[in-house]
């Protein structure tokens, strides 16, 4: 089954209507299934309406990343392009160590290496988006990568590759950023981004994002005192020169939950999504800090993890997540629609056994108000 499987989209759209009804005036949600064996989708919709998708395929301990795109008005995706120049150099084990996709003037990808060297690789597409450059390891000194990293890009040529690392325990882990001002042609050596002593949860993922006003955001889980696993947001308004440290959501836990997080730009600021104590949340933030309190998914689920939130131009939000996934265990795909005031609507759903082992869903919002889920 290919990425453009229309039969799967129609079937799951019907299931969504049975589960919670249509999207009111904004139309139905579209469901897009990855090719057989595809895992861990990352998606971006550009201003021209082209949908860009990154996913993992192959042996989870050492596979490959593939990129596809769908032009506006098309029902089929272009042929897949392998991103990593070294075959088998990407990893999917743990769900939070996979590839990350960003869109500036061209497509950018970063991922944790599958080897034991602790590399964090980067590659970018050519200007036509049909081939990727030879992968580069961007770690010069900040080794000890475990939970993976992320990247962001803006329309001014800025590319930011971020990760947390350290070899002296979680409380001494730090968040690092390698910056480029020439669309990824070159990067400065990594510099520390977190101004405090919060530590970082070793095998939790993080997420980087750039807003439309030149802000850079890094969402990660702390490990202060080995027990304070709070979500924290680093925000920079000067291309990563300086960061403000903003508390997002507390969680006391003497273990690593192997969680991931999501960032999605809006007209102003950013949508955040994360997990706390088996529940998933979203909130809005801008360069000044949080604009809303955390908004949870309704009810109680079974091990809610790996959320993503996206907002449409009408202010509505779609929150998607895994339900019941665990180490070496797949689970269900769940989603909830919220109105512009942050209230959950009747449009929601859950598809059992839709999420394979080591995977998670992703989502986008179209300019006309519709949403799409890729899984």
Domains of the chain: which residue ranges? 6-374
Q: What is the pLDDT of residue 194?
A: 95
pLDDT for residue 150 is more than 70: yes
70: left (phi over 0), alpha (psi -120 to 50) or beta: beta
Instruction: Give residue 173's pLDDT.
Output: 95
What confidence score (pLDDT) does residue 127 get? 86
Q: In this predicted model, what pLDDT tens digit does every residue of 215-261 receive, in sequence order?
A: 999 999 999 999 999 999 999 999 999 999 999 999 999 999 999 99
Are residues 202 and 170 in contact, defined by beta-carbon separation less than 8 angstroms? Answer: yes
Which segment of 11-25, 97-111, 350-364 scores lowest on mean pLDDT? 11-25
Residue with tokens 């453009």: 4
3-state secondary structure of 88: coil
Going by pLDDT thresholds of 50, 70 and 90, the confidence category of residue 128 is confident
Tell me the CATH class for 6-374: mainly beta
- Specify the pLDDT at position 302: 82
Q: 27 pLDDT exceeds 90? A: no
**130: pLDDT confidence band, cut at 50, 70 and 90?**
confident
**Alpha helix segments (H runs only) across the chain:** 6-20
Measured from the Cβ of residue 331, the count of other Cβ atoms closer than 10 Å reads 26
Q: Mean pLDDT over residues 192-199, rounded?
A: 94
Q: Answer yes or no: pTM beyond 0.85.
A: yes
Task: Give the pLDDT confidence score for residue 11 in this predicted structure.
Answer: 42
Q: What pLDDT, on the 0 to 100 scale, is given for residue 13?
A: 40
The CA distance from 195 to 205, in Å, is 19
On the 0-12 / 13-18 / 19+ scale of CB atoms within 10 A, 300 is: exposed
For 315-330, write each residue's pLDDT tens digit.
Answer: 999 999 999 999 999 9
Rounded mean pLDDT, 51-70: 97
pLDDT at 3: 52
Largest CA distance in the chain: 53
pLDDT in tens, 71-115: 998 989 999 999 999 999 999 999 999 999 999 999 999 999 998
């Amino acid at each position: 089954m290919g990425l453009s499987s229309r039969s799967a989209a129609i079937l799951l759209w019907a299931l969504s209507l049975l589960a919670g009804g249509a999207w009111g005036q904004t139309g139905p949600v579209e469901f897009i299934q990855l090719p057989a064996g595809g895992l861990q989708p990352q998606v971006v919709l550009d201003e021209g309406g082209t949908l860009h998708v990154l996913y993992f395929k192959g042996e989870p301990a050492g596979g490959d990343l593939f990129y596809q795109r769908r032009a506006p008005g098309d029902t089929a995706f272009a042929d897949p392009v392998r991103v990593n120049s070294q075959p088998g150099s990407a990893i999917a084990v743990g769900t939070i160590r996979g590839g990350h996709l960003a869109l500036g003037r061209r497509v950018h990808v970063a991922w944790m290496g599958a080897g034991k060297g602790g590399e964090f690789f980067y590659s970018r597409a050519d200007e036509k988006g049909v081939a990727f450059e030879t992968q580069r390891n961007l770690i010069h000194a900040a080794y000890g990568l475990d939970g993976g990293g992320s990247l962001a890009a803006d329309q001014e040529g800025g590319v930011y590759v971020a990760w947390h690392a350290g070899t002296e325990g979680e409380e001494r882990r730090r968040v690092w950023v390698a910056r480029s001002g020439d669309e990824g042609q070159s990067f400065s050596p990594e510099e520390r981004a977190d101004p405090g002593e919060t530590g970082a949860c070793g095998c939790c993922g993080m997420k980087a994002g750039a807003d439309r006003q030149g802000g850079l955001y890094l969402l990660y889980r702390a490990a202060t005192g080995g027990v304070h696993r709070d979500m924290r947001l680093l925000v920079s308004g000067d291309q990563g020169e300086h960061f403000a440290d903003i508390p997002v959501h507390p969680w006391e836990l003497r273990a690593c939950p192997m969680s991931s997080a999501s960032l999605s730009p809006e007209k102003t600021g950013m949508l955040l999504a994360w997990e706390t104590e088996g529940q998933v949340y979203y909130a809005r933030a801008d360069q000044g800090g949080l604009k809303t309190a955390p908004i949870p998914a309704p009810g109680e689920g079974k091990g809610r993890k790996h959320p993503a939130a996206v907002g449409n131009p009408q202010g509505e939000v779609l929150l998607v997540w895994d339900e019941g996934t665990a180490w070496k265990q797949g689970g269900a795909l769940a989603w909830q629609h919220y109105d512009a005031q942050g209230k959950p609507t009747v449009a929601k759903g859950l598809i059992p056994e839709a999420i394979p082992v080591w995977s998670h869903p992703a989502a986008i919002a179209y300019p006309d108000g519709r949403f799409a889920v890729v899984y």
